[in-house]
Structure 1
Amino acid sequence: MKKILFLIAIALFTLTTVQAQRTIALFNGYNLNGWTVHGTEKWYVEKGQLVCESGPDKQYGYLSTDTSFKNFELTLKFKQEANGNSGVFFRSSIEGVKISGWQVEVAPLNQHTGGIYESYGRGWLAKPKPEDEKWLKPGKWNTLKIRVVDDRVTTWLNGHQMVDLTDSKIGAGRGFIALQIHDGGGIKVRWKDIFLTEL
């Protein structure tokens, strides 16, 4: 009897753990449901992919989740079709197009993709080592993974760890996830397979 109760307890614990770590798709492949557009830059769906493209104003633009997330593991794929700066924000908030929070960089080769930047704050907090910049595949699909747990952020690009940062200010942060398009014009980035697991 004790053995049966023990097995039931283990099964319930496992089920609870699996439920607590349920993976969700942030992008449904059809429309922008669950997201909010900030700014005048272009965000649209094409062939099951989420596309951001510079608009006529050539300013910053953001696409934020309608839900806030604290601790999570996020994976996504991106492909840069034009040489420009983008990124993935987390624990962020926004007024107009002025965003406060932290960004995992998505940029051209040797411009610190996978690094962590604090917007309207301290600037660069962590950059990849020079030898790790090579893991970016320009013009091809890349896989980015971001793990945020309390005050620690770890990023991977195409399976290779890029940075591992512990920061108390990040630990106190709250807010949404957002994709960015940088100002300047001529930028086009495709995104797909955006999945998040709450931890």
Structure 2
Amino acid sequence: WKLFPGPEPDAGIYLRGTPQVQIWDTSRVDVGAQVGSGGLYNNQVNPSKPLKVADLKVGEWNTFRIRMIGDRVSVWLNGELVTDNVILENYWDRSLPIFPIEQIELQAHGSKVAYRDIYIKEFERPEPFRLSEEEEKEGFRVLFDGTNMHEWTGNTKDYVLEDGNIVMHPSKSFGGNLYTKDEFDNFVLRFEFMLTPGANNGLGIRTPMEGDAAYVGMELQILDNEAPIYKDLQPYQYHGSVYGVIPAKRGYLKPTGEWNYQEVIADGDHIKVILNGTTILDGNIREAAKNGTMDHKDHPGLFNKKGHIGFLGHGSEVKFRNIRIKELKN
């Protein structure tokens, strides 16, 4: 694309019929254009400005590479990453997610702009995960179907949508956890996860979004138990354990690189974890902590009535998919 000298050069590219990847004349400081092109201009909740200025001078040809997967957009301008995996909001109705499919549009704002060498590669769209008939009857709802992350918030830089999975990429090093937007009290949670060698993550339940979920809420460990680096852990630190409080049985994880299926039941003080068909934890947190916790630390959030569900990153790549939940009546 190229902007031409003239009054108020301004243009953009609509994705799925929605504005827009912005194209600016960066000299237009009066409208904030000094931030550069490539941002998602109409975003209000998610980032709208580019990471850096990578524009060439007005009258020179610039190159965009735009990737959109699900509701997330990355933009490279002249080889520089300027928008990194940012949600594109639905400008037309902000209460709804972005449209699943719509046209691409080249926009102009009454000033002269040129586009050339336009080509596209479509990615295969994963089939969305669907509940079984039995789960539908039981009242489950889907928290992640492989096509979008609309139910989630928090660290959406490290936790990204790839090939129908939520993948934690610690190399991005933004830090922070991924949480459900909604809070839950008593529930049955089902999901699948895949570990890499030495992987360490966690499942936060009834937790706020701030603080260490293992203490301000409750953490169920997600861990490659067999990795040599973890051979000296305490029993309450291995996979499926209520971290610091109740240890889980070992020996039921599948080899790294294979999918594990896990069900978590949180019903009042009763916590149950079923891994690949075997119950590895079945205990009462109040009973377990009545004389102090196993790790001898304070867990002020252990008896929270409700809170968010979260994936707690510890610098390892882990994949999650097919996440669904049934809320239990109090």
| TMscore range, shorter length | 0.7 to 0.9
Identity of aligned residues (%): 26
Aligned to 1:25: 142
- Residues 106-143 of structure 1: per-residue CA shift (max 9 Å, x gap): 101246111111xxxxxx111123xxx11111221001
Q: Please show how residues 80-95 of structure 1 align to structure 2 within 5 Å.
A: 80-95=195-210
Q: Is the 8 A contact 1:152 1:171 kept in 2?
A: no
Shift in Å at residue 103 of structure 1? 1.1
Superposed CA offset, 1:155-187 (max 9, x none):
1111111111212374443201011111xx4x1
- 2:308 is aligned to 176
1:116 is aligned, of 227, 237, 242, to: 242
Structure 1 length as normaliser, TM-score? 0.75
Q: Partner amino acid for 1:126?
A: I
Q: Structure 2 counterpart of 1:151, which letter? A: D
1:104 is displaced (CA, Å) by: 1.2
* Aligned with 1:153 (options 252, 271, 275): 271
Residue 177 of structure 2 aligns to a residue whose secondary structure is: strand
Mapped pair 1:73 → 2:199: no
Point out where structure 1 has 5 or more consecutive residues left out of the alignment. Answer: 1-17, 118-123
Question: What's the secondary structure of 1:135's corresponding residue?
Answer: coil
Structure number with bigger Rg = 2
**Unpaired segments of 5 or more residues in structure 2?**
1-134, 231-237, 287-300
Report if the CA contact (8 A) 2:207-2:304 is conserved.
no
Tell me, yes or no, if the aligned pair for 1:37 and 1:43 is still in contact at 8 Å: no
1:167 maps to a residue whose letter is I
Tell me which protein shows more helix as a share of its residues: 1
- Between Structure 1 and Structure 2, which shows a larger proportion of strand residues? 1
TM-score, normalised to structure 2, is 0.47
Note the C-alpha offset of 1:98.
3.9
Q: Amino acid of the residue matched to residue 312 of structure 2?
A: Q
Secondary structure of 2:208 counterpart = strand
